[in-house]
Structure 1
Amino acid sequence: MAHTMQRPQGPSTFDKSTIGALTGAGVGLTIGFIFGSYSILRGGAGPRGALSTLSQYMLSSAATFGFFLSIGSVIRNDTNQLEYIRRAHPSPLMRSRSEGLAQLRAKWELEKFQKRH
């Protein structure tokens, strides 16, 4: 019976993208609140008022962070899938470190033997 690697089950690419977007939105809201509050305290609320200015900072920051963390989650997911494929179907040129070391030692022993005889 041939041994086959089973793919680990986990969240789909869409699920990871959604999780990344929600995480980024949360981080963006927090950063937007901090910088928006600082901006309002430093320069005043402006003609639209404090709440409107603060919400604009928070929403634009949440959208930006959410977008980029969503993309980053998808890229990371693709990288994990490529790693799975690489491990499931190793290239004949790629060997483990122990196999390479064993082959190198065998070559050295052969060279030593040839020099003696």
Structure 2
Amino acid sequence: MGAMMGAGVGLTIGFIFGSYSIIRGGSGPRGFIVTLSQYMLSSAATFSFFLAIGSVIRNDSILPPRMEAARLQLLSPAIRSREEGAALIKARWETEKRQH
């Protein structure tokens, strides 16, 4: 995911800075398209490399149990199976019955 995000950001930044450089200094002997694509691809490769490393570092460890429970509670119901949803509803009903 980090690599895809980095590639998108890199292509955009490469387009902006490449266009500015071409407008300011000319496209050079290879032409407009080749020069602009070189800016965009080099920027995309650099950004995707660093964002991929960052996403691996951030997702390297297993979540502690309390964080995993919080993550499961915040998932949208469409992602859970019917059995998980039914078990969750039954558990909530049981806790409400005990409270009253």
Gaps of 5+ in 2: 68-100
Q: Give yes or no for the alignment of 1:84 onto 2:67.
A: no
1:5-55 deviation digits (Å, cap 9, x = unpaired): xxxxxxxxxxxxxx1101100000000000000000000000000100000
Superposed displacement of residue 74, structure 1 = 0.4
Percent of residue pairs bearing the same amino acid type: 76
Superposed displacement of residue 84, structure 1 = 1.9
Task: Please give the alpha-carbon distance, in whole angstroms, between the structure 1 residues aligned to 2:60 and 2:28.
Answer: 45
Q: Which structure is larger by alpha-carbon Rg, 1 or 2?
A: 1
Task: Please give the alpha-carbon distance, in whole angstroms, between the structure 2 residues aligned to 1:34 and 1:68.
Answer: 20
Return the match for 2:15 from 8, 33, 42. 33
Amino acid at match of 1:84: P
Q: How many residues align?
A: 68
Task: Please give the alpha-carbon distance, in whole angstroms, between the structure 1 residues aligned to 2:11 and 2:29.
Answer: 22
Gaps of 5+ in 1: 1-18, 88-117
3-state SS of 1:78 partner: coil
Structure 2 matches for 1:1-117, cutoff 5 A?
19-79=1-61, 81=62, 84=64
Per the normalisation by structure 1, the TM-score is: 0.53
